[in-house]
Amino acid sequence: MTLLRQKLINDMTLRGLAENTQLSYLQAVTGLAKYYRRSPDQLTPQEIQNYLIYLSQERHLKWRSCNAVRHGLRFFYCITLGWSQIYLYLPCAKEPSTLPEVLSQEEIVRLLTVTTNRRQRMLLMTTYAGGLRVSEVTHLKVTDIDSQRMCIRIEQGKGRRDRYMPLSPYLLEQLRHYWRHYRPPVWLFPGRPKDRPVSRVGASWMYNQAKAKAGIQKNGSIHCLRHSFATHLLEAGTELVVIQRLMGHTSMRSTMRYLHIAQEQTDAVRSPLDLLEFPTSRRR
């Protein structure tokens, strides 16, 4: 490991960056160095900008991927190397306004009933029932299921924040059947080896397999279950501020986008065209 790479790792560790964020930043700097076949501290701001243009125009990376590279390079040059942000100008790509795909309640039922593997079904059911991120459900421990207080403890979720989710009585019943069958020692959904939790890739594979088996054609990853959770709560009349707390959103802005998805809300709105009274036309 080079001294420069170690310094970058130390800087990220001291600032408490999440493991996935550290990996993303390392990949961004490594990709830049491989592209020019030179040490990244020997590059000019123009060369760095040209690399980002290459990622966007030639490799056709999506805006989210390009922005992830920008964040990684900005951290490396401004924090690790101490460059001035004025000297290194790396504007982020404008984020397009998009709405996430959600599954209907009928599709959720199909997804959970076609899955014959108990472990896979419980992972997907827990993800939906708690509106969890894939990193949160894969790192659940058996002790995080609190049947006395009827809640699920989410330890160090996004932003390194703990939170509690209500525990569905039906989910608790199903989890008890699952535990009696598998007896997981530490992790609720162990991977291979069993002393490690199931990976995010493994959880995504379970979702894609179940979705294909259920004949669901909608796009989206396992994160779609989290979007569906919030949307179904809103359609059931749950207040936005409650959904914000359950989802672990720091900003209400992140929660408000579900207003544009909830079907019950939009169905209740009449078009102004329907409020107009047109004269009865004469038949010829």
Active site amino acids: 133, 158, 223, 226, 249, 258
**Separation CA 103–CA 218 (nearest Å):** 8
DSSP state of 197: B
**What string of DSSP letters covers 253-268?**
HHHHGGGGT-HHHHHT
Pick from 70, 25, 77, 23: nearest CA to 51: 70
Pick from 135, 104, 110, 108: nearest CA to 231: 104
Q: Rounded to 10 degrees, what is the CA torsion of 42, 45, 50, 55?
A: 80
**Separation CA 148–CA 267 (nearest Å):** 39
Instruction: Please answer whether residues 45 and 88 qualify as being in contact, where contact means their C-beta atoms are separated by less than 8 angstroms.
Output: yes
